[in-house]
C-alpha cells in the first residue's frame, strides 16, 4: 500500500470522525433555543404558547441515545422524559398532580429560557392597567388570589362572600335567573384591590397558556373547584343556525357579533349547591375551542371514539367526576356535562336548606328505615332534593 493511499484513508477517517463529532454536538445542544427574536409580539400569550408547545415537544421526542450522555445522565434524562410524557397525558384526564407538574415546567421554561421578567410580563396580560383587563383576566386573578388562601374552596368562598348565587334580573330578560355577569366581576375586582408579585403574575400567565394547551379552556380551574358540576355548550345558538341566517338576517348577526345573543361557545354553567348558574362573563371564544374541550374531557381509560355515528359518551374522569359529552348530529352543538361528587358534604343538612328541613330530614330517615320506595322526579336543576319535601 502506497503512502498516498494511507493518507487518503486517514483523511477519510478524519472527515468521518469530524462529521460524527459535529452531529453529536449538534444533537446535544438541540434542546436549547439559541436565540429568540424579540419584537412587539414576543411576549404575547400566542407567541409564548407556541414556544412552550415547541419546547415540550422537543423534550418528549428527542432521542437520548444519540447525544453522547453518560450512563447516569442518560438514566436521569430518561426518567424526566417519561415523567413529562405521563404528566402531559394525565393532565387531560383531570389529574391535578399532573397538571401541577406541567405548569411548574412551563413556569421554568418561560422564566429561564424565554426571558419573561417584571418588565415584559404585562405585554401578555395588562396587569398594571386594570381598565385594559378583560372579565376573564380579572376572574383568573381573583381565583388565583383566593386559591392561595382557600385552595379548591376558592370559587365557593368568592360566590358566598359576594352573594353571587342569588336570583337577579339581567337587562333584556323578563324573568330573574341565576347568572354571574361581567359587571359583577369588575366590581369585585375593584373591591379586592389585589397586589400581585412577579411570581403571581407569571403563575396567572402560565395558567392561561396551560388551559389552552393541555387544559379545558376557560373552565379549567373551575372544574377543579369543589362545586357540584360544570357544563359547556348547553345553551345559546349553534353554528348551524348561524350559517342558515348568514345571507338574510344581517341585523341579527350584528347582535350576535356584539354578544347580545349568546352563542353555544359562550355557554358556561356551574352547578353550585343545587343551583344552575350561568357564567355570562366567560366564553370558549370559538366553536373550535369548545370542540377541543369536548374531545379531550371524556378520554380517561379510553372509552372509545366520539364520532358522528356514536354521538355521545358517558364516562368518568380521574377524580371520579362523571362526564357526558355529545356532538352533532346527535345534538345541535358540541356540549359536555361534568358532575362532581363531594361525599364529605353530601349530607342531608347541606342538601335541605329551607325552613322546615328538620321535619323533612326525619321523614326521609323513617322512609329509608322502613324500606319504602321513594320517587323523586323533575327536570335537571329544578331542586328535586327540596321540591320532594314541599319546602320551596
Question: Tens digits of per-residue pLDDT, 338-351?
Answer: 998 665 556 677 66
Q: What is the pTM of this model?
A: 0.79
Taken as a whole, the chain contains a residue count of 392
CATH number given to 126-343: 3.30.450.90
Task: Identify the pLDDT of residue 372.
Answer: 87
Retrieve residue 335's grid coordinates: 356540549
How many Cα neighbours within 13 Å face the side chain of 62? 26
Residues of the chain with CATH 3.30.450.90: 126-343
Specify the 3-state DSSP secondary structure of 240.
Answer: helix
Cβ neighbours for 255, distance < 8 A, ≥ 6 positions apart: 261
- The predicted model gives 303-317 an average pLDDT of 92
Are 236 and 262 spatial neighbours (Cβ–Cβ below 8 Å)?
A: yes
Sheet hosting strand 312-316, strand order edge to edge: 167-168, 177-180, 275-279, 268-272, 229-232, 335-339, 322-326, 312-316
DSSP 29: T
**How many whole angstroms separate alpha carbon 321 and alpha carbon 339?**
6
**How many whole angstroms separate alpha carbon 145 and alpha carbon 157?**
12
CA distances from 16 to 13, 22, 23, 140, 148 (A): 5, 10, 11, 56, 58
Question: Tens digits of per-residue pLDDT, 142-181?
Answer: 999 999 999 999 999 999 999 999 999 887 778 899 999 9
Q: Kindly tell me if the per-residue pLDDT of 223 is higher than 90.
A: yes
Question: Tens digits of per-residue pLDDT, 70-100?
Answer: 888 888 888 988 999 999 999 989 899 999 9
Are 284 and 268 spatial neighbours (Cβ–Cβ below 8 Å)?
A: yes
A 10 A CB-CB count for 33 gives: 13
- The predicted model gives 243-261 an average pLDDT of 58
- The predicted model gives 37-42 an average pLDDT of 68
Are 204 and 136 spatial neighbours (Cβ–Cβ below 8 Å)?
A: no
Task: Identify the pLDDT of residue 33.
Answer: 44
Question: Tens digits of per-residue pLDDT, 96-139?
Answer: 999 999 999 999 999 999 999 999 999 999 999 999 999 999 99
A 10 A CB-CB count for 280 gives: 21
Task: Identify the pLDDT of residue 237.
Answer: 80
Angle between helices 198-213 and 135-150 (to 10 degrees): 110
Task: Identify the pLDDT of residue 248.
Answer: 58
Amino acid at each position: 500500500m502506497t503512502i498516498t493511499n494511507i493518507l487518503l484513508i486517514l483523511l477519510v477517517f478524519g472527515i468521518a470522525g469530524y462529521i460524527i463529532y459535529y452531529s453529536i454536538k449538534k444533537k446535544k445542544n438541540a434542546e436549547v433555543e439559541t436565540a429568540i427574536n424579540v419584537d412587539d409580539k414576543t411576549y404575547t400569550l400566542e407567541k409564548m404558547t407556541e414556544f412552550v408547545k415547541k419546547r415540550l415537544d422537543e423534550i418528549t421526542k428527542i432521542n437520548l441515545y444519540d447525544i453522547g450522555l453518560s450512563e447516569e445522565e442518560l438514566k436521569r434524562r430518561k426518567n424526566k422524559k417519561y415523567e413529562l410524557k405521563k404528566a402531559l397525558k394525565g393532565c387531560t384526564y383531570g389529574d391535578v398532580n399532573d397538571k401541577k407538574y406541567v405548569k411548574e415546567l412551563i413556569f421554568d421554561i418561560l422564566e429561564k429560557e424565554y426571558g419573561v421578567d417584571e418588565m415584559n410580563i404585562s405585554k401578555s396580560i395588562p396587569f398594571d392597567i386594570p381598565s385594559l383587563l378583560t372579565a376573564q383576566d380579572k376572574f383568573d386573578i381573583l381565583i388565583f388570589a383566593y386559591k392561595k388562601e382557600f385552595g379548591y374552596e376558592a370559587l365557593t368562598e368568592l360566590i358566598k362572600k359576594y352573594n353571587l348565587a342569588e336570583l337577579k334580573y339581567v337587562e333584556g330578560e323578563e324573568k330573574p335567573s341565576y347568572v354571574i355577569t361581567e359587571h359583577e366581576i369588575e366590581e369585585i375586582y375593584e373591591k379586592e384591590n389585589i397586589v400581585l408579585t412577579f411570581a403571581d403574575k407569571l403563575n396567572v400567565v402560565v395558567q392561561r397558556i396551560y388551559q389552552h394547551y393541555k387544559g379545558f379552556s376557560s373552565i379549567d380551574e373551575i372544574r377543579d373547584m369543589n362545586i357540584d358540576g360544570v357544563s359547556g355548550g348547553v345553551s345559546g345558538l349553534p353554528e348551524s343556525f348561524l350559517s342558515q341566517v348568514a345571507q338574510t338576517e344581517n341585523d341579527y348577526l350584528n347582535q350576535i357579533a356584539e354578544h347580545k345573543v349568546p352563542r353555544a361557545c359562550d355557554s358556561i354553567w356551574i352547578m353550585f349547591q343545587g343551583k344552575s348558574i350561568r357564567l355570562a362573563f366567560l366564553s370558549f371564544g370559538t366553536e373550535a375551542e369548545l370542540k377541543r374541550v369536548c374531545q379531550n374531557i371524556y378520554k380517561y381509560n379510553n372509552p372509545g371514539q366520539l364520532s358522528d355515528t356514536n354521538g355521545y359518551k358517558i364516562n368518568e374522569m380521574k377524580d371520579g367526576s362523571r362526564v357526558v359529552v355529545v356532538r352533532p348530529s346527535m345534538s345541535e352543538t358540541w356540549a359536555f356535562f361534568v358532575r362532581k361528587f363531594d361525599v364529605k358534604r353530601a349530607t342531608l343538612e347541606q342538601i335541605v336548606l329551607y325552613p322546615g328541613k328538620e321535619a323533612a330530614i326525619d321523614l326521609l330517615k323513617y322512609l329509608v328505615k322502613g324500606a319504602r320506595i321513594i320517587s323523586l322526579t323533575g327536570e335537571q336543576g329544578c331542586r328535586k332534593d327540596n321540591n320532594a319535601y314541599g319546602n320551596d
